[in-house]
Amino acid sequence: MSKHAFQMLTPVFVLLVVWFIPAPEGLSANAWHFMAIFLAVIVGLVIEPVPAALVGLIGVSLVAMLGLVGKTPAANAKWALSGFSNGTIWLIFAAFMFALGYQKTGLGKRLSLIMIQFMGKSSLGLGYAVAFADLILSPFMPSNTARSGGTIYPIAINIPIIFGSTPENEPRKMGAYITWIAMTVTCVTSSMFLTALAPNLLAIDLVNKGAKVAIEWGDWAKIMVPLMLPLFLVTPLLVYLIFPPTQKHSPEAPAWAKEELSKMGSISFKEILMGVFAILALLLWIFGKKIGVDSTMVAVSIVALMVLSQVITWDDVISNKPAWNILVWFATLVALASGLKDVGILAWIGKSAEVSLSTMTPTVLMVSMLLVFFLLHYFFASLTAHTTALMPIFIVIAAKLIAPEHLMTFMILLSGTIGLMGIITPYGTGPSPLWYGAGYISQARWWALGAIFGAIFIAVLILGVFIYI
């Protein structure tokens, strides 16, 4: 059997095996059959026999055709399409257009090169330059693949070559260090801001549906920025101490960045416009709740302004395959996750978990949930699959066992693990395969460094429990 045939048949096998197992006590046959399809979708998302968005589309279509959620065909169709009317999904879509604006105007590249020019005289400074370039872009790029892989990588990967550091020749001189800096900081910034990672937005939508807790951009920032900003500031230094480059000074890097900036020429009007739009969006995301402005409508309105001002074109919008792919993918996953509640699976899980977990103190319970949720990512190659599969379960447990006054804070901390957990494996998040594939860090070294920095990252979030709760 070919590898592709095995990948195609595995989700089907999972579906059939679970389908024909008798439903556990407390669950209806419809609910158990829904669970069979949901588990098959998760397996499909992990091994991807077909594109992930198609996996989700097949899942919701099958559930609706079999009538497992609603009582009528119309009710099932309404459920299947419910994700496409979800405001969070369109916020993610709009944020992809922000990323396109950064890339098309060259503003993202210019900001990165300016950081290297002014901070790159030493290896440590060079690490901070790469870090701050990611930080500046992170509130407006919900894809760390687009941010770290699409914008930072093409620039940063040229830096080691200046020093004669290649995967075959002295990788520890500079290349391995730059690689690990880029990976660690993008994981931290992905958790720092709500709009820095698409699964963050997916998670808060699941929280809103499962626990009736609405989390805004500012709510997230109040909890995560005080935790993540110090971690961000110390991370390049930790990399420098734990995994240092053998080249300690880098006078060539600022000269190279200056030359690249010279090739770009003076800042363009469209770059200025993109910067203004980005700042406007950020301000409205922070203060919009106070003036009655919805964050999704802010993003959509800014995208309209970007098109009207020719920062991007309408053809750019309709031809942006990653954005439309994410929209379909996440819309189907949101529907499937809501279905878990609609058919009674989440209530059943919550009732079962309540018995075994109710003896724990609130602090031990929260710390245990953070640790388990984080460590389970070793079994996932996708942050989105991890979020879709496990977040609804953890939400229902938290909603039952954590005091209402602490629930929002804990939900933010739990969601905040999603960006950080990408560091633990070479496949843990979108940019990982790209940076790992550069060849500067061996697989064994990556796993070891992932364990060290993963422990540091989750320790900071656990500290958040003691600070905020």
Domain coordinates in residue numbering, the chain: 1-80, 87-321
d(CA 204, CA 181): 28
Q: Measuring CA to CA, how many Å separate 182 from each of 21, 122, 126, 144, 165?
A: 46, 16, 11, 11, 16
Q: Which 8-state DSSP code applies to residue 309? A: T
- pLDDT, tens digit, for every residue of 350-379? 777 766 777 888 899 999 999 999 998 887
pLDDT of 61 higher than 90: yes
Whether the model clears a pTM of 0.85, i.e. scores above it, the answer is no
Predicted pLDDT of residue 329: 85
- More confident of the two residues 138 and 385: 138
Within 10 angstroms of residue 62's Cβ, the number of other Cβ atoms is 18
How would DSSP label each residue in 395-437? HHHHHHHS-HHHHHHHHHHHHHHHHHGGGSSTTSSTTHHHHHH
Mean pLDDT score of the chain = 89
Spatial neighbors of 395 by CB under 8 A, at least 6 apart, are: 206, 207, 210, 211, 346, 411
SS3 (DSSP) at 122: strand
- pLDDT, tens digit, for every residue of 269-323? 999 999 899 888 888 887 877 788 888 888 899 999 999 999 999 999 999 888 8
pLDDT of 456 higher than 80: yes
Are the C-beta atoms of 149 and 434 separated by less than 8 Å?
yes
* Mean pLDDT value across residues 141-146: 81
d(CA 277, CA 297): 14
Predicted pLDDT of residue 445: 93
Predicted pLDDT of residue 212: 92
Are the C-beta atoms of 264 and 122 separated by less than 8 Å?
no
Are the C-beta atoms of 147 and 138 separated by less than 8 Å?
yes
Spatial neighbors of 2 by CB under 8 A, at least 6 apart, are: none
- More confident of the two residues 425 and 177: 177
Predicted pLDDT of residue 359: 80
pLDDT of 121 higher than 90: no
Predicted pLDDT of residue 278: 85
- pLDDT, tens digit, for every residue of 219-265? 999 999 999 999 999 999 999 999 999 988 878 888 888 998 999 99
What phi-psi label fits residue 344: left (phi over 0), alpha (psi between -120 and 50 degrees) or beta? left
- pLDDT, tens digit, for every residue of 75-108? 999 999 998 988 878 877 887 788 788 888 988 8
